[in-house]
A = this chain, B = another copy of it.
């Protein structure tokens, strides 16, 4: 078993195996995780982090691929984190993901990882933040975080990337429904993908209408069109991402995002640690007995929890 000191150097050199192991450490709460993060901490803050979010079928993966390849063409090293609270069940889609991953992972300048931990409360958001830091410390220039974007965890993840792109597609029925989940406020760019399909104008009109209903924001998120499958609109998307980055730098936005991100990480780690401590203090036997008492309707869950915590 390597120690965190053994992992540090290969990780800083960007070796994929060290990176993969370090991400697993963070996901699983390995004893060396904390030391590793502490020793990396001074080396962070260089990578640009882009979020790609939107409903299933919007073409996020293809868009992410195209962005990654465009950045590679500039000589950048690119990390991709596919955040997906998925199950091991759905063979088809996972298989598709794997094929995609193998294709672009053949490029040593791209590191791709699927984040799908379904562990502790808020653990997915926290593990993704850790993975972003590890990629940053390993010298990746840009990290793309791709997520379905529904659910609080995912909103937390994309709310503190540098530039959050919300992807929509024409003709997906009640399209606007898909972007209800708290991601409107965190969108820095709207991307209408598959824009060669009928209905792109309608989506753009709906977006414009929604924006006009919202409270004004200092950065008005632009609406772009792409056909990711053909690579159309990708250079323009990168231009806009950079424009937004420049705007953030000019308006103190990077410091604000850093604070939001620090708050999120701190609070989810605090929740995990507090729960771990409460569990350890109670012991699994007492915990299981309390859960059984709730299941049997012998005790309500509030009273059971107070009992475990030794509160009146």
Copies of this chain, tallied across the complex: 2
Task: Give chain A interface residues in 261-312, CB to chain B under 8 Å.
Answer: 261-263, 265-266, 268-271, 273-275, 277-279, 287, 290-292, 294-295, 297, 299-306, 308-309, 311
Name the B residues within 8 Å of A304 (CB-CB).
266
State in angstroms the CA–CA spacing of A40 and B299 once bound together: 11
Name the B residues within 8 Å of A40 (CB-CB).
300
Q: Which residue of B lies closest to A270 (CB)?
A: B305
- Chain A contact surface mostly: helix
Interface range for A: 35 or more
Q: Which of B42, B89, B265 contacts A294 (CB 8 A)?
A: B265
Given A56-B180, A184-B89, A309-B277, also A301-B150 (CB < 8 A): no
For the complex, is A210 an interface residue (Cβ under 8 Å from B)? yes
For the complex, is A179 an interface residue (Cβ under 8 Å from B)? yes
State in angstroms the CA–CA spacing of A183 and B56 once bound together: 14
Given A266-B294, A270-B308, A306-B273, also A180-B301 (CB < 8 A): no
Q: Can you list 27 A-B pairs, Cβ within 8 angstroms, ordered by A? A: A37-B300, A56-B173, A56-B174, A85-B152, A85-B155, A86-B180, A87-B183, A90-B210, A92-B176, A92-B209, A93-B177, A121-B268, A151-B151, A151-B153, A169-B173, A259-B291, A262-B295, A262-B301, A265-B294, A265-B301, A266-B290, A269-B305, A270-B279, A270-B305, A273-B306, A274-B275, A277-B309
